[in-house]
Amino acid sequence: MLASLASAYSICAAAALAVAAHAHPSLSTKLTHEKRDIIPGQWTKVSRAEATVPVTLRIGLKQRNLERADEFISAIAHPGSETYGQHWTPQKVIDTFAPSDEAIAETEQWLLAEGVASDRISRTSGRNWIKVTTTVGEAESLLDTTYNVYENNDGTQLVACESYSVPAAIQGHIDLVAPTIQFDEREAIVITRRLKQRDDSTAPKFKKLPPHPDFDADSLKNCSEVTTPACLRALYNIPKKVHPVQGNSYGIVEFAPQSYNQDDLNVFFSVYGSHSIPNGTAPIFQGIDGGYLSSESGSGIRGESNLDLSYAIALTYPQNVTLYQVGDSVAWNPATNNNFLDAIDGSYCTTDGGDSPDWDAIYPHDASSGNADGVYTGQPMCGVYNATKVISVSYGSNEDARPASYRARECAEYMKLGLMGVTVLFSSGDDGVAGLRGQCVKPDGSYTPVGAEYGRFNPMFPGTCPWITSVGGTALPPNSSTIHQQTREIASYKFFSGGGFSNLFPLPSYQASAVSQYYAHHDPGYNSSTYNNTRAVRGYPDVALAAQDYVTGIDGGFMAFSGTSASSPTFGAMIALINGERMKAGKGPVGFINPVLYAHPEVFRDVVEGKNPGCGTDGFSAVEGWDPVTGLGAPDYEKLKKVFLALP
Ligand SMILES: *[C@@H]1O[C@H](CO)[C@@H](O)[C@H](O)[C@H]1NC(C)=O
Ligand SMILES: *[C@@H]1O[C@H](CO)[C@@H](O)[C@H](O)[C@H]1NC(C)=O
Ligand SMILES: *[C@@H]1O[C@H](CO)[C@@H](O)[C@H](O)[C@H]1NC(C)=O
Ligand SMILES: *[C@@H]1O[C@H](CO)[C@@H](O)[C@H](O)[C@H]1NC(C)=O
Ligand SMILES: *[C@@H]1O[C@H](CO)[C@@H](O)[C@H](O)[C@H]1NC(C)=O
Ligand SMILES: *[C@@H]1O[C@H](CO)[C@@H](O)[C@H](O)[C@H]1NC(C)=O
Ligand SMILES: *[C@@H]1O[C@H](CO)[C@@H](O)[C@H](O)[C@H]1NC(C)=O
């Protein structure tokens, strides 16, 4: 029995292959498309669903060529490729991946043949969804299924089925149909609804500092206690003087209700800005779907954003930093990565169907449903901003907290951004091998109670997506005195660097040799009940940097924050500076960097001490070479710059 939720249903790919053998497969022969092997423990079947309940069926069509992702990415991002750096235009991305006209036409023909009136069938602008306005009764006949009402422990009731079928003739075109078997993921027809809460914040841990730190901001004597911009420059060889390059860009993404406070940035820059960052220095604000700056104080609201922006700006000033501030104050329907991605890629944005009504925020919001900071009652923002050349995001969630198809769609978008020359970085998580707030997975696929110490490892997404760069955490050994570039680092110990192996995403070619070396020399000592030990899946993180006790201005004073929330913006700053150097040399941005990083382990200071415990285990250990705690190790800016400047 497979333990994770995402693996609790299987997609019948083998059946689709069999279809190709028939010359004229019939529309009336239906094959099982997806089915659930188990109903998660918290749900109970209550009754048969009534045939008259209205349903909007969404048929997700298969994008073409996604199976060639590794090949496409390697061609432009592998240092040995003749076409390195030749990024794709947005039009080439659309032309390559959009579902074929044939897939759309044949799927619609099936619906018409089943008697669905044409005015009840519509397409989304991105062409990858067909919507059908129907009822439970008609959906049962279209999909050869039975819909039931299910109820969970807290009273939520929804309509779902346990398997469904589609015609053999068009099964190859169809990715998924919703709502069907996604009932435990709240992507179903919900009758009564639980209130949703933000579940993807890796809120950094913090400690309070004295109001006036009693040491020189340029001092390197206390870097094992408090991390400052000066410590990071010394550790990673980051230049102090930056020459801005027109057209270079670096973006930080923040989600409501969290947002930065300008007074706090001013206080931080006045002490740690090396006398060069003027009072009032702010990011370029790009609000998405009601994005706003909160009027509230406290580390819960300001901590994450103040931290991310203080270090992104301090390390790249006077280069501009862009803030993508996403989502309004409606807490029960919070914005997600998909809402952000819609705003920077119009082709991803399918206003009427691409985003999931049960995971993503759907706008407009009801004007009466937020707090004083504002409710977004406009249309979803679609392709209104350009993607910056580097994007860092310090949010993540448990890989299996959403359906595999949802994860795959989002991950494919990061691949497309990479093809277009954008570097996307995510912090790897702060709970070691466990998921958010220490949750692990039980054999029935549900989570252990928060804080419990048993169960299966719970990898974090988007870290497990092969098409982003996942940034883990390190620390200086306690009580290290003055630091220098040879100072050894250890895995973070005040929190544990998120790391491990995906249950969903296969091993990308750029990582194959590193992962096989890892297993050749180290036996993590866990069997397949504990994690996906097939050696054929994506491992994370890719790199790791200092992530403890970053001094940050907050509510007029200072606090020290710990988490991979800190290391991702720092690494992003290094990549943004390297893009500037490449632009000065007449070259393009670096885009997706992982193939270059894995081909050049010598630019990293390997981290070989520490571990990432969780789920009642010691987790994995940092060892020589790549490992699922600190990845390739800590990067040296000058060495990394040299590698990228030598590439076309
Ligand atoms: C080092 O930082 C700590 C804060 O964690 C502070 O209490 C201490 O005074 C600092 N030491 C020096 C020598 O600055
Ligand atoms: C930074 O942004 C400002 C305002 O958008 C713009 O005027 C300036 O040219 C930008 N600087 C660089 C170096 O791109
Ligand atoms: C920054 O400027 C504001 C006014 O624009 C002022 O109130 C504040 O005291 C200044 N902060 C610092 C740290 O100089
Ligand atoms: C996006 O980039 C294009 C081309 O460089 C430019 O014309 C446009 O003004 C930019 N849009 C925004 C919102 O910055
Ligand atoms: C660090 O130094 C403090 C004060 O000298 C001491 O109490 C503590 O045990 C030391 N920690 C380690 C890990 O050596
Ligand atoms: C482990 O990964 C492989 C390869 O992607 C996959 O086929 C398998 O289902 C995964 N196992 C679990 C338990 O998730
Ligand atoms: C993994 O090991 C545990 C403890 O030794 C055992 O109970 C379990 O059956 C094993 N699982 C597999 C798939 O071998």
| pLDDT tens column, 412-454 | 999 999 999 999 999 999 999 999 888 899 887 778 877 666 7
How many Å apart are CA 326 and CA 335, to the nearest integer? 7
Q: What is the CATH number of domain 205-216+241-473+489-645?
A: 3.40.50.200
Q: Has this prediction a pTM greater than 0.75?
A: yes
Q: Tokens at residue 487, please?
A: 């100072």
Q: Which of 308, 400, 410, 636 is catalytic?
A: 308
Environment class of residue 71 by beta-carbon count within 10 Å: exposed (0-12), middle (13-18) or buried (19+)?
exposed
Ordered by start, the domain boundaries in the chain are 2-63+99-192, 205-216+241-473+489-645
Ligand 4 centroid – CA 386 distance (Å): 6
591 φψ region: left (φ > 0), alpha (ψ -120 to 50), beta (else): left
DSSP assignment string, 323-341 = EEEE--S-TTS---HHHHH
Question: In this predicted model, what pLDDT tens digit does every residue of 180-191 receive, in sequence order?
Answer: 887 543 344 444
Question: Residue 297 class from Cβ within 10 Å (0-12 exposed, 13-18 middle, 19+ buried)?
Answer: middle
Atom number, ligand 4, closest to the C-alpha of residue 286:
13
pLDDT for 19: 32
* CA 267–ligand 3 middle distance (angstroms): 8
Write the Ramachandran bin of 549: left for phi over 0, alpha for psi from -120 to 50, otherwise beta: left
The pLDDT-based confidence of 1 (bands split at 50, 70, 90) is very low
Q: What is the DSSP letter of 51?
A: T
369 pLDDT above the threshold of 80: no
pLDDT in tens, 44-64: 889 999 999 888 898 988 889
pLDDT band at 111 (very low <50, low <70, confident <90, very high): very high
Q: Is the pLDDT of residue 4 over 70?
A: no
Q: Is 304 a catalytic residue?
A: yes
Atom of ligand 7 nearest to the CA of 527: 1
pLDDT at 156: 74
Write down the mean pLDDT value for the chain. 88
Residue nearest to atom 2 of ligand 7 (CA): 527
Work out the number of other CB atoms within 10 angstroms of the CB of residue 221. Answer: 13
Cα–ligand 5 centroid distance for 479 (angstroms) = 6
Question: Looking at the predicted structure, is the pLDDT value of residue 572 above 90?
Answer: yes
